[in-house]
């Protein structure tokens, strides 16, 4: 599991406007719009509730401890979306108590294992890995002008890849699965087959001979440089939630305008939207 470093997230808040514009140019939707697409909800329904939705972000010292500016960056993304977002002054149990005492609608907090949002009215728990996988599948769908009947290579069969692949199948794409751990790819295939009921999935065991030629890639691995530069074509579109980015600098340049990669923004935005649309939030 990738642990973000302060260097990964520094500058995210100040670049949100530019990233929003980049998303609108590449995927024809804003950050909020992509997040809504991830759950199939109407952006206007979210916009009308967002300002009154108080999300408290609680820094957590457990395990490896605080990542400098992690909570502030999450809070900055939520504020950019229009949420009433606050980072608690206190950490851990004290921060959680503060959120409840001040009548938060939702909280967000992360330890070494999970980054979650919880709607305090409905008790719905939204996992960042699931939200991120769906948000990047959503952006691929938007970039492609509809991913239905297109083939997509999902690289990395962890929780983010799983959620992304699940959404792509919901959108009636054909999915190729690859993981350096072949058993992980096979067991994901079984879970997805059970959920989707139709076999639109192919599992690959040899990357070099079987994975070239895909025009759509969801790169959800924790490795860098996974997509070879020479595989990149003018038609290729890549949605890459994996950290570090699975492309060389040259590869990323070649894909300019057809590559979406971020380390926190889309996942946090999709978490926020899911928390807001969670029913019975006391409004
Ligand atoms: O980065 C992480 C974990 N690897 C979980 C990621 C789940 N996708 N956690 C962030 C830890 C934040 C820290 N406890 C803080 O600053 O509050």
* Structure confidence by residue, pLDDT tens digits, 197-253: 766 999 999 999 999 999 999 999 999 999 999 999 999 999 999 999 999 999 999
Spacing, Cα 67 to ligand 1 middle (Å):
7
The DSSP bridge pattern shows strands 216-219 and 237-240 to be parallel
pLDDT attached to residue 280: 45
Q: Residue 8's pLDDT band (boundaries 50, 70, 90)?
A: very high
Nearest alpha carbon to residue 241 among 145, 82, 130: 130
Neighbours of 233 (CB within 10 A): 12
**Side-chain half-sphere CA neighbours of 171 within 13 A:** 27
Phi, psi of 218 (to 5 degrees): -105, 110
Residue 15 CA to ligand 1 center (angstroms) comes to 21
What is the pLDDT averaged over residues 30-45?
97
- pLDDT higher than 50, residue 1: yes
268 C-alpha vs ligand 1 centroid, how far in Å?
A: 12
- Which atom, in ligand 1's list, is nearest to the CA of 129? 8
Ligand 1 nearest-atom number relative to CA 66: 16
What is the mean predicted confidence (pLDDT) over 154-177?
A: 97
pLDDT of residue 2: 84
Q: What is the pLDDT of residue 195?
A: 81
244 token code pair? 């570090």
126 CA from centroid of ligand 1 (Å)? 15
As given in the structure block, the two tokens for residue 160 are 């983010």
pTM of whole model > 0.75? yes
Tell me how far apart the alpha carbons of residues 126 and 190 are, in angstroms, rounded to a whole number. Answer: 24
- Cβ contacts of residue 148 below 8 Å, gap of 6+? 171, 172, 173
Closest ligand 1 atom, CA of 109? 17
The pLDDT assigned to 152 comes to: 98
What average pLDDT does this structure show over 251-266? 97
**Cβ burial, residue 150 (10 Å; 0-12/13-18/19+):** buried
Q: Which atom of ligand 1 is nearest to the CA of 132?
A: 8
Q: Measuring from atom 1 of ligand 1, which residue has the nearest CA?
A: 3
pLDDT at 129 over 80: yes
Q: Which ranges of 197-248 would DSSP assign to H, the alpha helix?
A: 207-210
Per-residue pLDDT of 59-73, as tens digits, reads 999 999 999 999 999
Q: What angle do the packed helices 16-27 and 128-143 form, to 10 degrees?
A: 50
Query: CB under 6 Å to ligand 1: residues?
Result: 1-4, 59-60, 66-67, 70-71, 110-112, 114-115, 128-129
Sheet containing strand 201-203, edge to edge, reads: 201-203, 174-178, 151-155, 216-219, 237-240, 259-261
């Amino acid at each position: 599991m990738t642990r973000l470093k302060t260097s990964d997230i520094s500058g995210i808040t100040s670049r949100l406007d530019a990233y929003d514009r980049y998303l609108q140019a590449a995927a024809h939707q804003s950050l909020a719009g992509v997040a809504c697409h991830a759950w199939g909800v109407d952006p206007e329904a979210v916009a009308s509730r967002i300002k009154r939705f108080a999300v408290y972000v609680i820094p957590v010292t457990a395990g490896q401890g605080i990542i400098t500016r992690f909570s502030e960056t999450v809070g900055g993304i939520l504020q950019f979306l229009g949420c009433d977002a606050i980072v608690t002054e206190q950490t851990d149990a004290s921060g959680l108590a503060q959120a409840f005492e001040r009548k938060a609608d939702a909280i967000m907090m992360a330890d070494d294992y999970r980054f979650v949002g919880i709607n305090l009215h409905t008790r719905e728990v939204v996992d960042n890995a699931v939200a991120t996988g769906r948000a990047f599948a959503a952006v691929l769908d938007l970039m492609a002008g509809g991913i239905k009947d297109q083939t997509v290579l999902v690289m990395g069969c962890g929780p983010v890849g799983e959620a992304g692949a699940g959404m792509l199948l919901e959108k009636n794409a054909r999915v190729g699965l690859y993981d350096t751990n072949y058993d992980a790819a096979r067991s994901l295939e079984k879970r997805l087959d059970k959920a989707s009921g139709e076999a639109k999935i192919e599992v690959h065991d040899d990357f070099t001979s079987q994975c070239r030629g895909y025009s759509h890639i969801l790169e959800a691995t924790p490795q860098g440089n996974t997509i070879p530069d020479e595989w990149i074509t003018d038609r290729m579109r890549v949605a890459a939630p994996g950290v570090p980015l699975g492309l060389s600098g040259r590869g990323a340049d070649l894909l300019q305008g057809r590559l979406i990669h971020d380390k926190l923004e889309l996942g946090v935005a999709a978490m926020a939207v899911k928390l807001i649309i969670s029913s019975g939030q006391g409004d």
